[in-house]
Amino acid sequence: MPAVGGIPTGPSKEYPGNLTPYVVVTCVVAAMGGLIFGYDIGISGGVTSMDPFLLKFFPKVYRSKHNDSSNNQYCQYNSQTLTMFTSSLYLAALLSSLVASIVTRKLGRKPSMLLGED
């Protein structure tokens, strides 16, 4: 039978699997990982655009940002040191995950997760 509006109208395919607690927990953990990743991107991007942060740690960037009369949203900072600082946050996360993998391998997942809560 032809599809109407891109939706097949014939018999649907049934899958034998059920929605188990394991599947629900896996989906929740994956969603939390996405939220944490988005939070990380927002924090590193958001903090570097805050005027008090720029004034304290990158005063040259702060002055050039406020003295620039153009409204270019794509190249607002033009600072290699600020870019290097932001990149160093991601390098620190990479190194931390490598250390965490060693700790997890030695102690096991559950004890290392409990250790990370403190």
Provide the domain count of the chain. 1
Residue 52: predicted pLDDT: 93
Quick one: pLDDT at residue 32? 82
Domain with 100 in it: 21-68+77-117
- What is the predicted pLDDT for the residue at 95? 84
User: For residue 51, how many other CB atoms are within 10 A of its CB?
Assistant: 10
Residue 59 located in a structural domain: yes
In a domain, 12, yes or no: no
Q: Is residue 110 part of a domain?
A: yes
Q: Is residue 44 part of a domain?
A: yes
pLDDT computed for residue 56 by the predictor: 94
> By C-alpha distance, which of 52, 46, 37, 51 is closest to 86?
46
Predicted confidence at residue 42, as pLDDT, reads: 67
pLDDT tens digits in sequence order for the chain, 118 residues long:
555 555 666 676 666 777 788 888 888 888 888 777 776 676 677 788 889 999 999 999 888 888 877 766 667 778 888 888 877 877 887 788 888 888 888 888 888 888 877 5
Per the CB < 8 A criterion, the answer to whether 65 and 77 are in contact is yes
pTM for the model stands at: 0.49
